[in-house]
Amino acid sequence: MKKRFLAAGASVAAAAMVLTACTPPGGGDDEKSSEKSSINIGWNESFRSMNTLTANGNAVSNAILTYMMNDNFKHYDDKLELQDGSLGSVEQVSEDPLKVKYTFNDDAKWSDGTPVDAADLALTWAGQSANFNTVEQNNADDGSVKENDAKTVYFDAATAGSALIKDFPEVSDDGKEVTFSYSKPFVDWETELGTGADGVGVPAHIVAKKALGIDDPAEGKQAILDALKDKDTEKLSKISNTWNTGFDFTSMPKDEDLLVHTGPYKMTDFKEGQYVTLELDDQYSGPVKPKVDTVTVRYNGDPMAMIQAIENGEVDMTQPQATADVLSAAEDLDGVTVDAADGATYEHVDFTFDNKGPFDPEANGGDEEKAKKVRQAFLKTVPREDIVEKIIKPLNEEAVTRDSYSQVPGSPMYDAVTKENGVADATDVDVEAAKKLLKEAGADAPKVRIMYDNTNSRRQQEFQLIKESAEKAGFKIEDVGDVNWGTRLGDGTYDVSLFGWQSEGTGVTENDANFRTGAQNNYGGYSSKKTDKILDKLLVSKEDEQEKLLTDLESQLSEDAFGAPIFQFPELTIYRDKVKNVSSTSVSPTMFWNYWEWETN
C-alpha cells in the first residue's frame, strides 16, 4: 500500500482571512521591479508538518511544500507515468526473494551538507513498517499521538509494503547503497520508499540529534542504524517520539534543524494560517533547477476569496474547492486560464464500527448481523445520484456517481469491477427498504452523528441531502460537523464521516491503507478476516490477477456494508497568464508536480 492523503476542503478557520490584509514577501504585481521572479499560490489548508509519513503529516497541504523542499527517487508526471527522481536509482536485484537496491547519487545532500544515505531510508522504512512497534497504538483521547515511555516503541505510520521488509537491510560501507529484502513478493516495490513528496523522509542525523543527543551527523546516522539493527527499545522509543511529532509546526520554527531538506527550495517565512514562503537554496547541489526564485503559498478556506485574489493579482495560481459559482467567476476573469478536469480525489461516506454507536455490533446486543442491517439501511438512504445531480453536474455535465472504491470512472478496470462489486445495488435509494431493515434489526429511530467539514459549502449541501433522506427512513441525524474534522478522524465521536481521499500513486496496494484491520487510514475500525486475506493476495499479485482480486475486495466491502463512494472530485486549476508551464496530475501533489518548469513573464 501507499497511503492516501487526506484531501481537505476549506478546513482551517485561521485561514479565513482577507488576502489583502497581509501581503507576504514576494507578493503581487508591485514586485515587478525586483530582478528575482516570484509566484503566489492560493491554497485552502495550512502547512503543519515536515513529516508526511505520519498520520498527522499525511495531508496534501504538507505534501505540496515538502515536494518542493525535498528530492526523491521517483515521481509521477501529469500522465500518471512514473519518472525517475534526482536522488538516485531504484532497481530490483533479485526476484525470489525480492530484493530492491537504492543507490544515492554522490551529490545527494541535506541542506546542512550532510550526505543523504542509507540511514535516512532505513529510518523511513522503520517508521512506516510497524515492525519495530511494541504497541499497536499509542493515542491520546483526542486522537493525537502520546509520547512513548522508555519501554514502548510506536511509530505513527504503517504501510503493507514496508511491513514485508522484516530484516535489517544490507548497507554499503559508504552508506550510498542500501538493499531491502522482502519476505514476500510485493507488486508495488518500485514506489514503496523514496517516492514523491515523502522523499527519504526526515533526516536521520537530525532525529539522532533531537532524540539521542548526538551532534555529529555521521555518529548520529550510525546510532540510528545501530538502534534499528539491535532493536534497542530504549533508543527506538526516543527515536519514534521525535519521528512522530518532532517535525510538526504551524509557524516559522526557531529551530533551523527542523527545516533541513534535500531539495532546491528552503522555507524562509511562515506566518501561522496566513502564508509560507519558499526561496531557492543557493547551497543546493542537485540536478533540479527551478526557474522561479520565490514561491509563496497563501492560505484561505474561501474559494471565492481565492478568485478575488486571482483577479486582484495577489495570487497567480490556485486549485480551490470547485463549485459552479467558483467556475463561473473564474471564467469571467480576463488574462486567466481555467483548466477543468476530474481529479483523483473521491468523496465517500464511512461508518464507525467500534464506538458503541448505531453501526457497532456492541450497540446491537453483540449481534453483527443486526449492526450490518442498520448500516445497510443507512446506505439505502444516501442519495448519491441526487448529490451528483445537484452539486457536481453544474461543474461537469458528464459527471456520474463513482461506484468503485479503487477505480476511477473511465479507468481500464472500472467497468468490470463495478459490474460485479455490488456498490450500486447497496446504495440504490429505497426508503421503504431502509425502514424494513431497521425493523428487522430492532433499531428504533437510531441516532446517527455525521462528521464533516462544516465550513465547506459542498459538504454542507451533501449533509443536508443525506439528512433529509435518512430522516424519512426513521434515523435521527445529529450534525457534528467541525472545521477541525481532520484531527477527529478515528476518535469515536461520530458515526458517519464525509471526506475525500487523494491518492499518492497508482499502485493496487494503495487500498491496504483504508480497509485492512488496524491500517493507518482505517479510521472507522472496520475489521474483516476475508478482506484482509484478499488484501494479502493483492500484495503479491500479478497484473492479470488484479482485476479479479479488486472485484473480490469491493464485493466484500459491499457485503459488509463498509460505506460507499459517492463522486469523483471536479478539479479546477486556475492561473494567471503570467505563469507558464502549469499542468496538474491527478495524484498528490497535483499542480505542483512540475514546479521546476514554472516560468513567469
For residues 377 and 517, membership in a common domain is answered with: yes
- For the chain, residues with pLDDT lower than 50 are 1-5, 8-34
For residues 489 and 351, membership in a common domain is answered with: yes
> Which residues fall within 8 angstroms of residue 467, CB to CB, at 6 or more apart?
450, 477, 479
Q: What is the domain-level CATH number for residue 382?
A: 3.10.105.10
For residues 237 and 358, membership in a common domain is answered with: no
Residue at 585 is within a domain = no
Q: Which residue in this structure is represented by grid cell 490477477?
A: 545
Residue at 319 is within a domain = no
For residues 371 and 222, membership in a common domain is answered with: no
Q: What is the domain-level CATH number for residue 129?
A: 3.90.76.10
How many separate domains does the chain show?
A: 2
For residues 438 and 559, membership in a common domain is answered with: yes
For residues 353 and 495, membership in a common domain is answered with: yes
For residues 397 and 516, membership in a common domain is answered with: yes
Q: What is the distance between the alpha carbons of residues 456 and 477, in angstroms, rounded to a whole number?
A: 19
Residue at 490 is within a domain = yes
For residues 360 and 222, membership in a common domain is answered with: no
For residues 367 and 240, membership in a common domain is answered with: no
Q: Which residue in this structure is represented by grid cell 495550512?
A: 46
Query: Would you say the C-alpha torsion 354, 355, 360, 363 has a positive or negative sign?
Result: positive
Burial class (CB in 10 A: 0-12, 13-18, 19+), 95: exposed
Q: What's the pTM value of the predicted model, to 2 decimals?
A: 0.83
Residue at 327 is within a domain = no
> Which residues fall within 8 angstroms of residue 436, CB to CB, at 6 or more apart?
none
Residue at 299 is within a domain = no
Residue at 550 is within a domain = yes
Closest by CA to 266, choosing from 255, 254, 256, 251, is 256
Q: Which domain holds residue 538?
A: 347-569
For residues 242 and 355, membership in a common domain is answered with: no
pLDDT of residue 142: 67
For residues 382 and 239, membership in a common domain is answered with: no
Q: What is the distance between the alpha carbons of residues 276 and 521, in angstroms, rounded to a whole number?
A: 27
Q: What angle do CA 318, 324, 330 make, to 5 degrees?
A: 40
For residues 425 and 558, membership in a common domain is answered with: yes
Residue at 457 is within a domain = yes
Q: What is the distance between the alpha carbons of residues 533 and 342, in angstroms, rounded to a whole number?
A: 32
pLDDT of residue 254: 97
Q: What is the distance between the alpha carbons of residues 518 and 526, in angstroms, rounded to a whole number?
A: 8
Residue at 360 is within a domain = yes
